[in-house]
Structure 1
Amino acid sequence: MKKGWKILGHSLFWICATAFLVFIAHNNSKIPMQTLLVAFVLFGCININLFYFNYLILIPRFLDKKLYKRYFLSLLAATIAVGLIKYGFSTQLWDVMHPKVPNEKMEHEELHFVSYFFSTFITSILFIIFSIILQFTVDWFTNERVQRDLENQRLTAELSFLRSQINPHFLFNSLNSIYSLAYQKSDTTPEAILKLSEIMRYMLYECNDNKVDLAKELTYLQNYIDLQKIRFGNKAYVDLEVNGAVTSQRIAPLLLIAFIENAFKHGVANDSAHPIKLIINVSDGHLSFYMENKKHAHNRDSSGGIGLHNVKRRLDLLYPGNYNLEIHDDADTYTCELSLIL
């Protein structure tokens, strides 16, 4: 089907171009229509055949394979053959090509082979140049499309890898928390397991696309915070404020969780005077996220973490030029501000 449309498009182009040239020449000269039809249609078809002979046969067979000598020899032979064909038609159709004008005597003149062949050679060269330009243009667009496809595949693979890091990273931290509750024989262990189950269901079944509903992502964040509160025996203090109407906005999944995870890992969560502050402002096409937490000097993960590095890389891939992230890591306070065009 695609090939058929391509042939139709080329055919329409040549028909329209030929009709336009015949129309212009007929309106701007006294040359009879039959002469113009022979000149533009018959000889035009010969030139078009040379165009496609070079475009479809010579270029793929020789030029694309860098067989330059064979290409130019074949092209020269084809051009000479076209010149001879045109010369033969011109001698046979002399009366049509040079009609008699009333009241004017005109003798049949023999075509001078060299001068005629030179003029038709120039025309043939123009059609050859057009076919080469077309081939290089098509190749350029094809290469651009292939490069874009390869780049998209690379980015998709990298995003899949980054996302695959999130699940084990989050699961590792959550299981450590639940293990601590179970070790203490806390009554909140079943509730914590249920919260973790809801969170994992979201991560496994809702986060397969590059974008998810913002409402679902915010519910996921709330479940995570609730799980942490259970771990802290409901002595974790978090002020979560969501401003604006959350309607049909979409966001990359698991994008904000890394900041909140770090607040619980490295911050002070059980100080009611200094709660973890989370402010999310939402509009139709924009989201701003602000987080502030008091730092705990002894609550540091000596093994480091992949969370922030991961989220920064995902921002670069999914929101290039459409986000601004500022992090301030002071002696006692850690703040981050993320501005995002959804």
Structure 2
Amino acid sequence: MLLFMLIVYGMNLLTLTVFTKQSFQSLNVRTGFFGIINFLQFYLFYIWTVPVFLKSRNWIQFLLRALPVLCGFILLKYLLSVQIFPKIMLYQGYRYDTVSRARIEIYTTFWQFFRDGIWTGLIILLAALALRLFIEWLREDKRRSQLRQQMQQAESGFLKMQLNSHFLINSLNSIYSLALVGSPEVVPANKTLAHLLSYMVDQPNDVDYRSPIRDEINYLCDFIKLQRLRTGCEAGIIANFSNELPDKQIAPMLLVAFVENAFKHGITNQPDHPVRIDLLGDNNVLHFSVFNQRSKYNKDKTGGIGLENVKKRLQLIYPDKHHLTITETPTTYFCNLSINW
């Protein structure tokens, strides 16, 4: 408001056509001194009258607060005009008396001043109401934004928790399969699982959090290693992770669902039908794809929530910044994901 007053003062100064002592004095009194009084009236409306009305929507209470301020400042400005600045604020000119031929000065009467003051006060009141509404809107918008962010974080955490539990069940089943046949790979598999779980636990649920892409690649490599230990077939999985990826970040544990889906529904122990995983990218786009031959025996007993959840996470974390295509045939399954990071 003070900045606005300075702007108004400057604009009135620029409109002066005659630079005299009287014109500068009139500018300082009308725009400067009485401008400060109008600002005090605005501030009182802003902190005392308008907030109560916005909270209660009670018109009677609003009038009981607005009218005393309005009338009180009109009276104050009139008394100052009469006692200190009559020539500047009240003097309108003069007229000649036709009988005595005397020049009679004409001044604004109280009721004329009051009428003009009502309109000025109403404009000030509307300005205070408009500013208060705008600030309340900004606060409400910020609150809604924070609430939306909290909801997104909660939803992201819930979806990731489902993915984690889904992954844990399948990993434990894989290690259990190794233990049943007395495989010596149980111990390495346990260590690999420990690394995977440690990484999972360390990731926050913040929807804005991003993990270094290299950490995600290491996570995927451990996941693939665990699968190879279970199947005992190195050539059943071909992973091609580019060494020329830029130093970028990605939402954690977003890609593993596609790999896990290929392991559950694909053939991972036949070199002639390998699961193929490719990851490459540049400074603008990350490209990730998974291809597998479909197996009619490996079905998801936990309900197939993995891919559905990762689709929801993509919509939540990368809205309008990703493109996912899934191509299915009776014998093959192909996922292709691109993310604009």
- Judge same fold: TM > 0.5, yes or no: yes
1:333 maps to what in 2? 332
Change (3 A) 1:227 1:109: same
Task: Give the match for residue 123 of structure 1.
Answer: 120
| Aligned residues of 2:92 and 2:108 also touching (Cα < 8 A) | no
Distance change >3 Å, CA 228–CA 172, structure 1 → 2: same
- Structure 2 unmatched ranges of 5 or more: 95-101
1:26-37 aligned within 5 A:
26-27=16-17, 31-37=22-28
Tell me if 1:23 matches 2:13. Answer: yes
C-alpha RMSD of matched pairs (Å): 2.3
Task: Report whether the alignment pairs 1:44 with 2:35.
Answer: yes
- How far residue 58 of structure 1 moved from its aligned partner, in angstroms, is 0.6
Aligned residue for 1:196? 193
1:100: how far off?
9.8
Checking the alignment, whether the CA contact within 8 Å between 1:287 and 1:339 is kept in structure 2 is yes
Say whether 1:286 aligns with 2:285.
Answer: yes
CA 156–316 in structure 1, closer or farther in 2 if over 3 Å, else same? same
1: CA distance, partners of 2:92 / 2:58? 46
Residues 319, 89 of structure 1: CA spacing in aligned structure 2 closer, same or farther, 3 A cutoff? same
Per-residue CA deviation, residues 72-124 of structure 1 (Å, 9 max, x unaligned), is 243223222222222222222223545999xxx96443432222222222222
Q: Distance in 2 between matches of 1:300 and 1:99?
A: 95
Aligned residues: 329
Separation (CA, whole Å) in 2 of partners of 1:113 and 1:206: 73
Q: Matches of 2:176 and 2:54 in 1, distance apart?
A: 69
Residues 18, 41 of structure 1: 8 Å contact kept: no
Which residue in 1 is equivalent to 2:259? Answer: 260
- Give 1:285 shift: 2.5
- State the match for 1:70 in structure 2: 61
Contact 1:288-1:340 within 8 A present in 2 as well: yes
Q: Which stretches in structure 1 are left out of the alignment for 5+ residues?
A: 1-9
Amino acid at match of 1:173: N
**Larger deviation: 228-237 or 254-263?**
228-237
Amino acid at match of 1:299: N
1:95 partnered with 2:87:
yes
Structure 1 counterpart of 2:73, which letter? V
Amino acid in the other structure paired with 2:6: C
Q: TM-score, normalised by structure 2?
A: 0.89
> What amino acid sits opposite 2:87 in the alignment?
D
CA contact (8 A) 2:240 2:278 kept: yes
Contact 1:278 1:291 in 2 (8 A): yes
Q: In the superposition, relative to structure 1, how do residues 72 and 206 fare at CA in structure 2: closer, same or farther (>3 Å)?
A: closer
Distance 1:207 1:217 in 2: 14
